[in-house]
Chain A
Amino acid sequence: MKPARFDYHSPTSVDEALALLQQHANDVRLLAGGQSLVPMMNFRLVAPGVVVDLNRIPELAYITDRGNVVHIGAMTRQRAAEFSPIIGEKVPLLREAIKLVGHLPTRSRGTIGGSIAHADPSAEIPMVFQALEGEAVARGPRGERTIKAEEFFRDALTTSLAPDEMLVEVRLPAMPPGAGFAVEEFARRHGDFAIAAIAAVVVRDGARCCKARLATAGISSCPVRLRAAEQVLEAEGLGESAVARAAEVAADAVEPLADHNASAEFRRHLTRVLTGRALLSAVARAA
C-alpha cells in the first residue's frame, strides 16, 4: 500500500515539465492533484519510474473571464473553482457538478485539468466539459493546439493527448444568460463517482427550445453528448411529453457499461430517469 520507488522531479515551468515528459517517455506520469494518481500508485496499479510534479508551476492555476469564454488553468484546484465568482456567474453548471466531485478535502487538491486529462468514465468534470462544448489547450514540443471536448475523450482513462503533450488550459464557453441547467447523479454514497449522471443545459425562447445540451458520466467508457435527445428538444420544445421523449431517445442511444456497480440494463434505465429529471429541473430554472 505504498508506492514503488520512482525518480521525482518538480519543475517550475511548463517547458521544464515538457522536457521531462519527452526525456522519460513511456515511464513517466504527471502528478497534478494526485487524488486519482497517488491512490493508484499506493496500490501499485501504476508504478512509473519517473514522477513529474506539476504543483510548483503557479502559472498553471488561474480562472480568467474572457467575456464569452472562461479560461481555466489546468492546475486550478476544484475547490478554487467551486468558490469562484467567475465560475458561479459564467458557467454555473460547473459549480453545480463540482459539489458532487468527491469531498471538500479532495477538492482542496484535485484539479480541473487533472480530472479531464485522467478521464475517469465516472467523473463529473469531464461530463461538464462535454455538456458545455469546452476546449482543451494542449502544449507539447510541436507547440500548442486546441482540442474540442467532442474529440478529447477516446476511451476509459484515454484521451487524445499525445504522450509528449500536457493539458495546460481548459476553456468553457459562458452559458447564455437565463439558461436552465441541472446535474442529476446516481451514486451509492455522496461523493462517490457516478454510477450514472446527466448534465443538462437548456435555453428557452418562450415555449421553444433554442438550445439543448445533454452529457453523461458513468454510463459509458467516456462522457458522451446525447445529441439525438438534444435534437428532440430543439424540434419539439420543452413540454413534458417532449422531455419524456428526449429521455427515451437518450436511453436508446447510450452504450452502457456493465460492472459490479450496475448492469447495462440498469444504467440504461438510469439514463432515462436521470435525463428526465435533469431536464425537468433545467427547464424549471430556465428564464
Chain B
Amino acid sequence: MAQLVDVHLKVNGKPYVGQCEPRKLLADFLREDLGLTGTHVGCEHGICGACTILFNGEAARSCIMLAVQASGAELVTIEGLAKNGKLHPLQQAFHENHGLQCGFCTPGMLMAALDFLRVNPSPSEEEVREGISSVLCRCTGYRDIVRSVMAAAAAMRSETTREPAK
C-alpha cells in the first residue's frame, strides 16, 4: 500500500485539502486533485516554465516540486489573477498586445512576469527579455510578449500611484 500524505494549502486565497502519494508533483496535484487546470505541464523536467506558479509569493516551477512540499504554503496560480471578472493588468496587456497564440506557455509566462515585475517594476526592454527567459514560447518569437509585459508594467505602475497605501 503506497504511503499517502496530507496536503493542506491555500491556492488563490482559498483553502484546500488533499491526499496523495509523496511522489505526486505539485503541477499534477493542482490539475488533477484540485481541478485547477490553468497551470500547464510542458516538459515535466523544469526547463520550459509553463508550470510556473507563485509559491509563498515567489515564482517557482511546479513540475519539479512535490505536492507535499506545498502543505502549509500559499500559492497563486493563473486562476487567481483575474479579480471579480476583471482581468489583471498583465492579462489585459497580453490581450491587447497579442502576447499569446496557442496559449500553452501563457499561464507560466504570466506568473513569471508577475514575479519579475514585483522585483523590477520599471524594467527596460532588455530586462524584460531576461525576466521572461525562464519560460519558453514556441509560437510568438517573444516580441509581443515583451511588448505586453512593458505595457503591463506601465499600467501596474500607474495603478500603484493612483491607489492609496493599503
A→B interface (CB under 8 Å): 1-8, 10, 31, 34-35, 38-39, 41-43, 51, 53, 55, 79, 102-106, 108-109, 189-191
Contact = CB atoms under 8 A, between A and B. Distances in A.
B134 A8 contact: no
Nearest to B57: A108
B107 to A, nearest CB: 13
Contacts, number: 93
Interface in B15-63: 21-23, 25, 28, 44-47, 49, 52, 55, 58-61, 63
A4 B133 contact: no
B2 A104 contact: no
B61 A10 contact: no
Contact of A189 (B64, B66, B133): B133
B45 A104 contact: no
A8 B22 contact: yes
Contacts of B119: 104
Given A38-B64, A39-B45, A79 B58 contact: yes
Given A34-B64, A105-B60, A2 B23 contact: yes
A38 B21 contact: no
B65 A190 contact: no
A42 B22 contact: no
Interface of chain B, main secondary structure: mixed
B84 interface: no
A3 B23 contact: yes
A51 B68 CA distance: 12
B25 A2 contact: yes
9 contacts: A8-B22, A8-B66, A34-B66, A35-B61, A38-B64, A104-B134, A190-B130, A190-B133, A191-B133
Interface centre among B3, B64, B116 (most CB of A within 10 A): B64
Interface centre among B2, B3, B55, B61 (most CB of A within 10 A): B61
Nearest to A107: B58
Nearest to B52: A105
Contacts of B133: 103, 189-191
B134 A38 contact: no
A5 B64 CA distance: 15
Nearest to B45: A39
A5 B23 contact: yes
Contact of B131 (A102, A104, A109): A104
B112 interface: yes
B5 interface: yes
A60 to B, nearest CB: 15
B112 A105 contact: yes
A104 B23 contact: no
B78 to A, nearest CB: 14
Given A43-B45, A104-B115, A104-B131, A4 B23 contact: yes
Contacts of B23: 2-6, 8, 41
B25 A42 contact: yes
B101 interface: no
A35 B23 CA distance: 15
A77 to B, nearest CB: 8
Nearest to A83: B119
A195 B1 CA distance: 44
